[in-house]
Structure 1
Amino acid sequence: MTSYYNGFPQSDRDEAINMINLDELEERAKEVMPEGAYYYIASGSENEWTWRNNTAAFNHFQIVPRALTNMDSPQLDTEFMGMKLKTPVMISPIACHGIAHKDAEVATQKGAAAAGALFTSSTYANKSVEDIAAAAPNAPRFFQLYLSKDWDFNKMVFDAVKKAGYSGILLTVDALVSGFREANLRTKFAYPVPLDFFTRYQGAKGEGQTVAQMYASSAQKIGPEDIKRIKEMSGLPVFVKGVVCAEDAFLAMGAGADGIYVTNHGGREIDCGPATIDMLPEIAKAVDHRVPIIFDSGVRRGSHVFKALALGADLVGIGRPYLYGLALGGAKGVQSVIEQLNQELLIDMQLTGCKTIADIKHARLTHFNYTADNLKSNTDPSRITPYPVTNDNQLKEEDSATDAVSGASQE
C-alpha cells in the first residue's frame, strides 16, 4: 500500500520480507520509492569509488575456519555501555526515514526493538525523539548529533534527547559539508517530509531544502573542545562519529570521548578515501580497549559483521539495507534485515568455534591485498538504466508544483 504526503508517495507496508540476501532488496526497493528518494539512499559521492569499496574491501580479510571445536549453539547476545542487546548489529543513523515509509523512524525503532538491536536516531529525523521513544519505551537507543552553529538549538536537542531516555550521543565530525553527491543533483533531490527538530525550533519544516543546504545550517568547525562542551551540556556519553585514522582516535579520546565510531559516512562524503574495514585495525590498536568502538560502512553480510568484530569493533552498524527493509516491510521489514544478518553471522560463528560475540574478537583472519575498480557512478548517463514506473512510486500530478522530489523517469 502507499500513502501520500503532499503528493510524495510513502510505503505503508508492515510485513516480514522473504530474501536470500540483503543485496536483492536494493533493486526491489525501486518498486515502492520515487527515483529521487531511492538514489538519495542508493548512492555515494563523486564516482562512488569509496561507496563500492566499503563493501568490496571486506574481501581483503578472510575468515579462517576452525575444526574440532566441540562447540554448538552460538549466542549473539552482547552488552554495550551497560545495555543488554540480542545482537551486535546496530541501526546506524540516517536522516529522513519518511522517504522510505510513512511511519519513518517510529517504524525503524519498532523493528530494531523487536530484533533486540541498538537504534540510533538522526538530528534530521522526521519523527520526534519523544514519539520514537514511545514506540519502544524499554528499547536501547542513541542519538546522532549534527552540531549546530546555534548553541540554543543544541541545548534544545540535548534536553529533549535526555528527557526521552536516550543513552548517548554520536557526534558526527566527518560531514561538515555535504559530499558531492551526483545522484542528488541529477534527480534534484530535496527533503520532501518535515524534519522534527527544525519544525519545533523555528517552525521551519526542512521541506524543499537540498542536502547541501541542510548541512550548511550545521557547524563547519568542530574541535576537541566541543566534545567536552557537549558532554557537560547533555550529561550523556559522547562517541565521536567519523573517525578513520589512528590520529583522530587519539584526539577524540584525549578530548574525553566515551567511544569511537569508525565510519566514512557510507562513502557519501570524501570519495577515493579508504574503506572503513581497511582502517579499523589501526584504529583498534590505537584505542587499545580503552573505549568502545562502533563500526559501519559497507556491511551487507553476516561475514562482514564477523570480520569487523574480529578486527576490533564492539558493535557493527548497518545503514542502507535497513531503509530498503523499511520501505518494503515497515517495522517488520527492518527486523527481517537484522535477522538475515544474524542468521549468516551464526553460521560463521559455528564454523569458527566462536560460542559468543566475545569469542569472535579472538578469531583468526588472514589478509591479502587486492586490485580495485575505477568505475563511473551508477547514475552516470553512460551506466544508468531505466527506472521502473509503478503505481506505488509516482508523485500525484496535482501536487507536482510543490514537490521537492521528482518521480520516476518517463520518456
Structure 2
Amino acid sequence: MTYYYKGFPQSDRDEKISMINVDELEERAKKVMPEGAYYYIASGAENEWTWRANTSAFNHYQIVPRALTDMQDPQTDTQFMGMKLKTPIMISPIACHGIAHKDAEVATQKGVAAAGALFSSSTYANKSVEDIAAVAPEAPRFFQLYLSKDWDFNKMVFDAIKKADYKGIFLTVDALVSGYREANLRTKFTYPVPLDFFTRYLGAKGEGQSVAQMYAASAQKIGPEDVARIKKESGLSVFVKGVMCAEDAYKAIGAGADGIYVTNHGGREIDGSPATIDVLPEIAKAVNHRVPIVFDSGVRRGSHVFKALALGADLVGIGRPYLYGLALGGPKGVESVIDQLNTELKIDMQLTGCKTIEDIKHAKISRIHYGLDAMPSNTDPSRMKPYPTTAENQIKSTNTDAVTGASQH
C-alpha cells in the first residue's frame, strides 16, 4: 500500500523482509521510491569514489580465523555510555526518513527498538523528537546536531531532546556545506516532506528546499569552543562527528568531547577523501580508550562490523541499508536489516572464537591493501540505467505542489 503526501508516494508497509544480504535491497527499493528520493539516499559526491571506497576498503583488512577455540553461542550484547544494547550495530542519523515511509523516524525507531540497537535521529527529521520517543520510551537514543547559526534555535533543540530523554548529541562537523552531489542535481531533488524542527521554530516546513539550501541554515564556523558551549547549554554528552584523522581526535578530546565519531558522511561530502576503515586504526591509537569511538560509512556486512570493532570502534553505524529496509518493510524492515547483519556477525564471531563483543576488540586482523576503482558516478549518463516505473513510486501531480524529487518518467 502507498500513502501520498501532496502527491509524493510514501511506503505504508510493516513486514519482515527476506534477503540474502542487505546489498540486494538497494535495487528492490527503486520499485517503491521515486527516482529523486532514491538517489538522495543511494548516491555520493562527485564521481562517488569515496562512496565506493568506504565499502571496498574493508578488503584491506582480513579476519584471521582461529581454531580449537572451544566456543559456541556467541553473544552480541554490549554496553555504550551506560546503555545496555543487544547489538553493537547502530542506526546512523539520516535526514528525512519520510522519503522512505509515511511514519518516517517513528517507524525507524520502532524497528530499532525491536532489534535492541541504538537509534539516532537527525536535526532534519520529519517527525518530532517527542513522537519518536513516545513510540519506544525505554529505548536508548542519541541526537545528531547540525549546529545552527541561531543559538535560540539550538536552545529549542536542546530543551526538546532533553525532555524526550535523548542520551547524548552527535555534533556534525564534517558537513558544514553540502558536498557536490550530482544525483541530486540531475533529479532536481528537494525535500518533499516537512521537517519538524523547522516547522515548529520558523513555521517553515523545509519542504521544497534543496540539500544545499538546508545546509546553508547551519553554522559553517564550528570550533573547539562550541563543543564546550553545547555541553554546557544542553547538559548532555557530546560526540564530535566527522573525525577523519588523529590530529582532529586530539583536538576534539582537548575541547572536552565525550566521544569520537569516525565518518566521512557516507561519501556524500568530499569525494577523494579516505575510506573510514583506513583511518580508524590511526584514530583509535590516538584516542587510546580515553573516550568511546563510533564508526560508520560503507558498512554492508557483518564482517565489516567485526573488522571495525577489531580496529577500535565501540559502536558501528549503518545508514543507507536501513532506509531501504524502511521503504520495503517499515519498522519490521528496519529490524530485518539489523537482524541480517547480526546473523553474519555471529558467524564471524563463531569462526574466530569470539564469545563477546569485547573479544572481537582483541581479534587478530591482517592488513593487505587492494586497489580500488576509479569509475564515474552511478548517475553519470554513461552508467545511469533507466529507472523502473511502478504504481507505487510515481508522484501524483497536484495544483498546489511543485514536483519535488519526482521521477522524470
Per the normalisation by structure 1, the TM-score is: 0.99
Q: Which residue of 2 aligns with 1:275?
A: 275
1:345 has 2:345 as partner: yes
1:27 has 2:18 as partner: no
Query: CA–CA distance in 2 between the matches of 1:21 and 1:74?
Result: 20
How far residue 403 of structure 1 moved from its aligned partner, in angstroms, is 2.7
1:48·1:377 contact (CA, 8 Å) conserved in 2? yes
Report the secondary structure of 2:132's partner residue: helix
RMSD of aligned residue pairs (Cα, Å)? 0.7
Query: CA–CA distance in 1 between the matches of 2:76 and 2:49?
Result: 33
Report the secondary structure of 1:131's partner residue: helix
Identity %, equivalent residues? 81
Query: CA–CA distance in 2 between the matches of 1:141 and 1:175?
Result: 22
1:6·1:399 contact (CA, 8 Å) conserved in 2? no
Structure 2: gaps spanning 5 or more residues: none
How far residue 369 of structure 1 moved from its aligned partner, in angstroms, is 1.3
Query: CA–CA distance in 2 between the matches of 1:343 and 1:272?
Result: 32
Query: CA–CA distance in 1 between the matches of 2:170 and 2:100?
Result: 23
1:143 has 2:123 as partner: no
Query: CA–CA distance in 2 between the matches of 1:399 and 1:223?
Result: 46
1:303·1:344 contact (CA, 8 Å) conserved in 2? yes
Moved over 4 A (4+): none
Query: CA–CA distance in 2 between the matches of 1:347 and 1:268?
Result: 31
1:6·1:402 contact (CA, 8 Å) conserved in 2? no
How far residue 397 of structure 1 moved from its aligned partner, in angstroms, is 2.7
Query: CA–CA distance in 2 between the matches of 1:165 and 1:401?
Result: 36
Query: CA–CA distance in 2 between the matches of 1:399 and 1:23?
Result: 38
Deviation track 1:110-132 (CA, whole Å, cap 9, x = no partner) reads 00000000000000000000000
Q: Which residue of 1 aligns with 2:245?
A: 245
Q: Which residue of 1 aligns with 2:8?
A: 8
Q: Which residue of 2 aligns with 1:216?
A: 216
How far residue 371 of structure 1 moved from its aligned partner, in angstroms, is 1.3
> 2:335 corresponds to which letter in structure 1?
Q
2:173·2:241 contact (CA, 8 Å) conserved in 1? yes
How far residue 405 of structure 1 moved from its aligned partner, in angstroms, is 1.7
1:95·1:124 contact (CA, 8 Å) conserved in 2? yes
Count of residues in Structure 1 that have an aligned counterpart in Structure 2: 409
Alignment of 1:111-190 (within 5 A): 111-190=111-190
Query: CA–CA distance in 2 between the matches of 1:215 and 1:98?
Result: 18
Query: CA–CA distance in 2 between the matches of 1:236 and 1:405?
Result: 36
1:190·1:208 contact (CA, 8 Å) conserved in 2? yes
Query: CA–CA distance in 1 between the matches of 2:21 and 2:400?
Result: 36
Q: Which residue of 1 aligns with 2:362?
A: 362
Query: CA–CA distance in 2 between the matches of 1:19 and 1:353?
Result: 27
2:6·2:398 contact (CA, 8 Å) conserved in 1? no
Q: Which residue of 1 aligns with 2:316?
A: 316
2:199·2:205 contact (CA, 8 Å) conserved in 1? yes
Q: Which residue of 2 aligns with 1:236?
A: 236
Query: CA–CA distance in 1 between the matches of 2:398 and 2:295?
Result: 44
How far residue 400 of structure 1 moved from its aligned partner, in angstroms, is 7.8
How far residue 372 of structure 1 moved from its aligned partner, in angstroms, is 1.3
Query: CA–CA distance in 1 between the matches of 2:135 and 2:200?
Result: 20
Query: CA–CA distance in 1 between the matches of 2:404 and 2:379?
Result: 19
> 2:200 corresponds to which letter in structure 1?
R
2:6·2:401 contact (CA, 8 Å) conserved in 1? no
Query: CA–CA distance in 1 between the matches of 2:401 and 2:227?
Result: 43
Alignment of 1:389-400 (within 5 A): 389-399=389-399
How far residue 401 of structure 1 moved from its aligned partner, in angstroms, is 4.7
Query: CA–CA distance in 1 between the matches of 2:191 and 2:136?
Result: 26
Query: CA–CA distance in 1 between the matches of 2:95 and 2:212?
Result: 13
1:7·1:400 contact (CA, 8 Å) conserved in 2? no
Deviation track 1:124-149 (CA, whole Å, cap 9, x = no partner) reads 00000000000100000000000000
Deviation track 1:313-350 (CA, whole Å, cap 9, x = no partner) reads 00000000000000000000000000000000000000
> Which one is further off, 365-374 or 167-176?
365-374
Report the secondary structure of 1:190's partner residue: coil
Query: CA–CA distance in 1 between the matches of 2:170 and 2:212?
Result: 21
Query: CA–CA distance in 2 between the matches of 1:178 and 1:256?
Result: 27
Query: CA–CA distance in 2 between the matches of 1:399 and 1:39?
Result: 25
Deviation track 1:62-119 (CA, whole Å, cap 9, x = no partner) reads 0000000001000000000000000000000000000000000000000000000000
